[in-house]
Structure 1
């Protein structure tokens, strides 16, 4: 219920942001148009954002016939967690990573790259998938997926403002400086929203994943390996859609400079230390 409330607040906040941007670019008419667009985005995000994210990554669904070991692993962990069996996807990318998506445990999906399946041992991969199922159990996959879709829409709107500007309520050209500020500030606002919802939940998913798998040491080892490999192997879909990075078990973005301010994950060292403390 708490995560559903957070999702509703997020949708309301982004609707307000859309309306403010619309008002800046087109006065009252722009604000009303932005409201209609925001309501449409809210509806789409709730019902279809998981499918959109999976399509962004060219994820292919697998079953007990096409990926028997991986599918059986997820099934066993879902039973341990007391969850319905999620849909299982594989992403044909060398970068090691994984994520969960969906609007609730009854409509959830987990996805892993071929890279993570190659790099990790069976125990470590089991820990990673338990982490993703912990996100499902905690019901934070909805806000994660919705925020990714909304942030992408805000960035698109900001780019539109940058290239096409707008007009005020009197029909005169809007101040180009305002358009530039909108184009700069809207993605920052979206990133701040993602940061607010992402950092604490990763610690909780680590703890929950360790409890589901019964093996916190394996998850700690997996995080160290993913951190080491992911830094040198790009994940093109994440670079094209950086708003989805906060869904991953490890931040897949390689940009430097200001990108560190928008990191959606706690430090790997701190995550590993907390998991090893559970062992102790």
Structure 2
């Protein structure tokens, strides 16, 4: 299924959730208002989802003059991938991570945290950047950005439904016929965010493996990204990223990953499985492709950006 069809289906399903919740809250009138709200969200999520997500994380654009090495790495990878040069943003967070957003490759953005630049060596950063450009090349970024915006809208309406039920603002059964009442609203307010999360999970998990494989080929081998994933997994337990649940699927590694039952709702495949699959990707046979380089310290990249 191509991403245009997937995006259309996602918008249709999310719109259905929003209209359903609106009907429970206000009958036919609520459904009409929810449909108008969903149409507005569809418009804004298509044209402005990248700005919305970047503003959530207070990301600032890094110019070539501010971060020459970072731009050089992204430019080299974009050239290998046959992509336009994306804009580069830096997120003021200590936890290492990254994501890509935008409605198409011509309007793509790659955002990295300060912690990624500080805690990873050059080859590992290249691996993470290549993974995010893999999402751009595979045209995952629009559906991921729309999923985050629409999931946020569903969660907002679910919270409104919960408060409406608690304070008696529930439509009577004769307003729209067959209403579920307060208990139904409370159940909906619980189930709707879970349904939104399951949609995010279905979108994200199947695409992470492909982005990892694309990254290994762009970077000339899997070593950088596989080492980066190991580090990201280790740091995620020590450095918390102040992430929003509706955007968790966009990051290289899930910033909200849990264990046990919560792992069933993870937006990403298990890290150990991703690393094992990566290490099975053939190395680039070209000149110097896939050869191990000694780890490099990153102070120069970070110092030039922050100085």
Q: How does 1:2-151 map to 2 (within 5 A)?
A: 2-151=2-151
TM-score using structure 1 length: 0.95
Segments of 4+ in structure 1 off by > 2 A?
Answer: 168-174, 254-261
Secondary structure of 1:252's partner? Answer: coil
Whole-angstrom distance in 2 between the partners of 1:95 and 1:213 = 23
Structure 1 distance, partners of 2:17, 2:246, is 17
Match for 2:172 among 129, 148, 168? 168
Q: Which runs of 5+ in 2 are unaligned?
A: 284-307
Comparing 185-194 with 172-181, greater Cα deviation is found at: 172-181
CA contact (8 A) 2:116 2:125 kept: yes
C-alpha separation in 1, matches of 2:212 and 2:275? 9
| Greater helix fraction, Structure 1 or Structure 2 | 1
The 1-side partners of 2:103 and 2:234 are apart by 31
Aligned match of 2:248? 245
State the Cα distance separating 1:259 from its structure 2 match: 3.1
Contact 1:108 1:136 in 2 (8 A): yes
Deviation at 1:111, TM superposition (A): 0.6
Identify if the C-alpha distance between structure 1 residues 162 and 258 changes in structure 2 by more than 3 Å, giving closer, same or farther: farther
Alpha-carbon distance in 1 for matches of 2:258, 2:5: 33
Aligned residue in 2 for 1:271: 274
Q: CA deviation digits over 1:165-204, x for unaligned, max 9?
A: 3313645997210110111010011011011101110000
Q: SS at 2:61's partner residue?
A: strand
Alpha-carbon distance in 2 for matches of 1:57, 1:11: 24
Q: Which residue is equivalent to 1:231?
A: 237
The Cα RMSD (Å) is 1.7
Provide structure 1 residue ranges, at least 5 long, that are not aligned to the other structure.
none
- Counterpart selection for 2:220 from 214, 223, 226: 214
Per the alignment, in what secondary structure is the counterpart of residue 277 of structure 1?
coil
Number of matched pairs: 277
Post-superposition Cα deviations, 1:57-81, rounded to whole Å, max 9, x if no partner, equal 1100011101111111111111111
Counterpart check, 1:261 vs 2:256: no
- Give how far 1:230 is off: 1.4
Q: Within 5 Å, which residues of 2 pair with 1:195-214? A: 195-214=201-220
Q: Secondary structure at the match of 1:19?
A: helix
Contact 1:28 1:169 in 2 (8 A): no
